[in-house]
Amino acid sequence: MGDRSATGGYDPSGIDIDAWEKLELQLEETIPNYDRVNRLMTFGQDKNWRRNVRNHASSGMKVLEVGCGPGSFAEDLVGLDVTCLDPSSEMLKVAKVRVDGARQSRGEEPAKYVEAIAESIPLEDNTFDMVFCLFSFRDFQDKKKGLSEIYRVLKPGGRLIICDAGKANWFHGLGGRIWMATVVQWIARYVTKKKNHPWKGLANTYTQYGTNGYYRNMMKDVGFQDVQGRLLWPFLMATRFRATKPKSE
Ligand X SMILES: C[S@@+](CC[C@H](N)C(=O)[O-])C[C@H]1O[C@@H](n2cnc3c(N)ncnc32)[C@H](O)[C@@H]1O
Q: Which residues would be at the binding site for ligand X (CB under 6 A)? A: 24, 27, 66-69, 72-73, 86-88, 91, 117-119, 134-136, 139-141
Q: Looking at beta carbons only, is 25 or 169 nearer to ligand X?
A: 25
CB of 60 to ligand X, least distance (A): 22
The rounded distance, in Å, linking the Cα atoms of 176 and 174 is 5
CB of 73 to ligand X, least distance (A): 4
Q: Looking at beta carbons only, is 61 or 162 nearer to ligand X?
A: 162
CB of 59 to ligand X, least distance (A): 21
Give me the residue whose beta carbon is nearest to ligand X: 69
Q: Looking at beta carbons only, is 124 or 247 nearer to ligand X?
A: 124
Q: Looking at beta carbons only, is 61 or 238 nearer to ligand X?
A: 238
CB of 247 to ligand X, least distance (A): 27
CB of 238 to ligand X, least distance (A): 11
The rounded distance, in Å, linking the Cα atoms of 241 and 131 is 12
- Angle among Cα 224, 228, 234 to the nearest 5 degrees reads 150
The rounded distance, in Å, linking the Cα atoms of 85 and 66 is 5
Q: Looking at beta carbons only, is 61 or 170 nearer to ligand X?
A: 61
